[in-house]
Amino acid sequence: MTARGELSLPAQRRDFVPALLVPLVALIALPLVGSPSTWVTLTVAGLAMGMIIFIIASGLTLVFGLMDVLNFGHGAFITVGAYAAAALVPLFAASLRADSMILNLLALLALIAFAMAVTAVLGYAFERVIIMPVYGQHLKQILVTIGGLIVTEQLIIAVYGPVQIALPVPTAFRGSVIFGDVAIERYRLIAVVIGLVIFAAMLLILNRTRIGLLIRAGVENGEMVEALGYHIRRLFVGVFMAGSALAGLGGVMWGFYREALTPGMGMDVMVLVFIVVVIGGLGSVGGCFIGALLVAVTANYTGFLAPKLALGSNILLMALILLWRSRGLYPVAKR
């Protein structure tokens, strides 16, 4: 933090109101749901789903913030990540099925690492081949990334077929942990932990490292960063690969969450991801985090209270937020 000397700028006013939305929604839901144990289960499930969506959406929103590129093909990385992990499952079958927490965790981490590596490489190729020729042209970007999505999805169908593939959760993460009369699925706890770790790592990198400083500066004013002698293009390729890898990680976690993969899963998740990114404010990681939790938690409560409304609740939430702040919760300054 800057020293409060004569050179320090006036501190930016922190905007905490959006951060209070998630607890607020949870509190409103408590009396409506009635039973506290059900409420805890619902909340944890919502948080787990929200974390997965956040992991996927954060890459998208950073890429947009930094380079003004909206990648509609982001969903392809979700699918590819999940299928890459599934392809490696036979190799680790023994350790995944073993009844040992450590072995399971190691195997899971290996799957995740492989999926992230594959999607990062794919992200590099995607950026070079698909996106680079159309910088600064929004319309073409949307079209071309959609084209990339179609081609990737079709290639996956060509290799794996259009049918659903099972992806069972490792043995040790199955079942629930019981606290009193509250049952929480283990895998959901794992998802929350991984999500929090990623969020913390992201905040640390963005706020405490030189690269993070450059990324934030690039989001604020890319030309100025260039003028100071940094290659924003190189930075961008790195962020794009990281974003793709995060989508791959999200895909693996989503696959385990659903315990099944389909070639269209990426696109299905992307609908939620777009809602989250719009709610959070395009380009804002913090907004994305709050948006993801808000969407997932709200969807879970309405799914329990009024199943018929559940599908509309996301749209309704988005409409309300946009009425309140028409550029999302944390609008990025210049956009």
Partner 1 sequence: MKILAAILSGDPPRGRALTFLLLVIFISLAFAPLLFHGSESLNVAAKICYFVVLAASYDLLLGYTGIVSFAHTMFFGIGGYGAGLALYGLGPSWSSILIGTAAALVFAIVLALIVGLFSLRVRAIFFAMITLAVASAFSILASQLSAVTGGEDGRNFRLPEALRPGFHLHVGPFTINGRIIAYYLIFFAALILFLLMLRIVNSPFGRVLQAIRDNEFRAEALGYRTVVYRSIGNCLAAAAAALAGVLCALWLRYTGPAVTLSFDIMLDILLMVVIGGMGTLYGAVIGAAIFVLAETYLQNVMAMISHATAGLPVLPLVFDPDRWLLWLGVLFVLSVYFFPFGIVGRLRAHR
Q: List the interface residues with partner 1, window 211-270 (CB under 8 A).
A: 267, 270
What CA–CA distance (Å, rounded) separates 43 from 32?
13
Structure tokens at 198: 């990623």
Q: Are 296 and 304 in contact (CB under 8 A)?
A: no
Nearest CA among 54, 31, 57, 86 for reference residue 305: 31
What's the one-letter identity of residue 315? I
Q: List the interface residues with partner 1, window 71-110 (CB under 8 A).
A: 72
What CA–CA distance (Å, rounded) separates 219 from 201?
19
Structure tokens at 85: 């992990």
Judged by CB, which is closer to partner 1: 7, or 139? 139
What CA–CA distance (Å, rounded) separates 66 from 103?
39
Q: List the interface residues with partner 1, window 42-71 (CB under 8 A).
A: 70
CB of 266 to partner 1, least distance (A): 12
CB of 5 to partner 1, least distance (A): 39
Judged by CB, which is closer to partner 1: 129, or 201? 129
Q: List the interface residues with partner 1, window 275-294 (CB under 8 A).
A: 275, 277-278, 282
Q: List the interface residues with partner 1, window 306-325 (CB under 8 A).
A: 308, 311-312, 314-315, 318-319, 322
Q: Are 111 and 85 in contact (CB under 8 A)?
A: yes
Q: Which of 112, 144, 290, 299 binds partner 1 (CB under 8 A)?
A: 144
Phi first, then psi, for residue 176 (nearest 5°) are -125, 155
Q: How many residues bind partner 1 (CB under 8 A)?
A: 41
What CA–CA distance (Å, rounded) separates 24 from 109?
34
CB of 100 to partner 1, least distance (A): 39
Structure tokens at 320: 């309300």
Site membership for partner 1, residue 125 (CB under 8 A)? no
CB of 143 to partner 1, least distance (A): 5
Residues 174-213 as x/- pattern, contact with partner 1 by CB under 8 A: ----------------------------------------
CB atoms within 10 A of CB 82: 33
Q: Are 53 and 82 in contact (CB under 8 A)?
A: no
Per CB under 8 A, residues contacting partner 1 are 70, 72, 130, 133-134, 138-140, 142-144, 146-148, 150-151, 154-155, 157-159, 162, 267, 270-271, 274-275, 277-278, 282, 308, 311-312, 314-315, 318-319, 322, 326-327, 335
